[in-house]
Each structure stands twice: as structure tokens, then as C-alpha cells.
């Protein structure tokens, strides 16, 4: 969600930012039916969380194909990530999903295309959905510098922090 919040800030005051780096983000859904479908999915996750508790929710969340590349990470890293996920308060997490999920976020494609600053976009090559989004960003805003990280999935912060650190310098 951090990338979406950054895109929102850029849309609110684009002249405030001379440059931005976005990692594995979605600029929003443009189609009302896609938005309604996503809201139904988000609400199913919320029901799962509130009805069954944080542990079953996290187990299901982590088993999504989006996170499959993380299975090859060292056990200590996965356990630390799991502890973080389990530390969330269910009501707070549910509220965040309801209020800040992709279904609720306005489409930021137009302000993104008009962003006057330098824009870098980072995405994992093994994250096919977000790689497609990144390529669409470049199509709509050709001045964007796209960095595709080989063998990396949806979370470069977790999967390749050293490579990411070099790109962020």
C-alpha cells in the first residue's frame, strides 16, 4: 500500500516532488466493474480476518500466488515477516483493507502520466501482474525509468534488499 499512498501524494501536489521511486504499486482501477469486483474480494478478506482471526487470515494471505517467490527466502526472514503480519490488530487491519484497499483508491493513472518530475518504477520480473502494470505506466508515461529485477517477485524490499538499496542510492 505504500506505493499507492506515494502516488496519492504525488497526485495531490505534483510540483512538491522533483523525483519519485515507486516499487510494485498499482495506480488504481479505472473500470467501475473491476472496482466492484475488487471490493467484493477485499470484503471477503475482511470477513475471513474478523470471523476466523489473525492467524488463519495470515496463513491464507501468505499462500496467495502473489507471494510464491518468497518461499525460497531464508526461514528467519519469513518468520520475521510472519511475526510482523501477526502483530496487527484485526480490527485495524480490517479497517485499513476497507478504507485503503485498491477498490477504494481513486484511479491515479492520469496524474501519474502528467507527473512533471523524474519517475523511477521498480518491479520484480517474477511478479507478472505488477510487471504488466509497470509496462503500462511506461506506455502512458514514456519518460519513466523502469527497473525490472530478475527472479524477484512482488516484494523487492523483502526479496532483494541489497539490489534495491543500490537502485535507491
pLDDT in tens, 74-127: 999 999 999 999 999 999 999 999 999 999 999 999 999 999 999 999 999 999
Residue 134 predicted with pLDDT over 90? yes
| Domains held by the chain: number | 2
Strand runs labelled E in 14-166? 19-23, 118-124, 145-149
Q: Is 95 left (phi over 0), alpha (psi -120 to 50) or beta?
A: alpha
Asked if residues 149 and 69 have their Cβ atoms less than 8 Å apart, the reply is no
Q: At which of 104, 129, 152 does a domain end?
A: 104
Tell me: do 127 and 158 sit in the same domain: yes
- Long-range contacts, stretch 82-86, CB < 8 angstroms, 24+ apart: 82/58, 85/54, 85/58, 85/61, 86/54, 86/55, 86/58
Residues 6+ apart with CB under 8 A from 81: 70, 158
Note the pLDDT of residue 1: 78
Domain that holds residue 121: 1-28+107-169
Task: From 58, 60, 52, select the one nearest 83 (Cα to Cα).
Answer: 58
Rounded CA separation 73/82 (Å): 12
Residue 20 grid cell: 519519485
Rounded CA separation 58/79 (Å): 12
Rounded CA separation 37/61 (Å): 18
Assign residue 148 the CATH number of its domain.
Answer: 3.40.50.1820
Note the pLDDT of residue 129: 95
Q: Mean of the pLDDT values across residues 27-49? A: 96
Note the pLDDT of residue 133: 98
Note the pLDDT of residue 85: 96
* Helix, coil or strand: residue 153: coil
Residue 169 predicted with pLDDT over 80? no
What integer best gives the mean pLDDT of the chain? 95
Tell me how long the chain is: 169
Residue 99 grid cell: 478504507
pLDDT band at 31 (very low <50, low <70, confident <90, very high): very high
Q: At which of 58, 89, 104 does a domain end?
A: 104
Q: Mean of the pLDDT values across residues 8-31? A: 95
Amino acid at each position: 500500500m505504500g506505493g499507492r499512498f506515494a502516488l496519492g501524494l504525488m497526485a495531490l501536489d505534483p510540483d512538491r516532488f522533483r523525483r519519485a521511486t515507486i516499487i510494485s504499486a498499482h495506480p488504481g482501477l479505472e473500470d467501475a466493474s473491476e472496482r466492484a469486483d475488487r471490493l467484493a474480494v477485499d470484503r471477503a478478506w475482511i470477513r475471513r480476518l474478523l470471523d476466523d482471526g489473525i492467524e488463519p487470515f495470515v496463513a491464507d494471505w501468505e499462500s496467495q500466488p502473489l507471494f510464491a517467490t518468497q518461499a525460497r527466502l531464508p526461514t528467519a526472514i519469513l518468520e520475521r515477516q510472519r511475526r510482523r503480519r501477526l502483530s496487527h490488530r484485526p480490527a485495524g487491519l480490517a479497517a485499513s483493507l476497507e478504507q485503503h484497499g485498491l477498490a477504494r483508491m481513486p484511479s491515479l493513472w492520469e496524474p501519474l502520466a502528467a507527473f512533471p518530475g523524474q519517475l523511477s518504477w521498480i518491479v520484480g520480473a517474477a511478479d507478472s501482474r505488477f510487471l504488466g502494470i509497470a509496462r503500462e505506466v511506461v506506455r502512458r508515461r514514456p519518460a519513466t525509468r523502469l527497473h525490472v529485477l530478475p527472479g524477484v517477485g512482488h516484494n523487492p524490499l523483502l526479496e532483494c534488499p541489497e539490489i534495491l538499496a543500490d537502485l535507491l542510492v
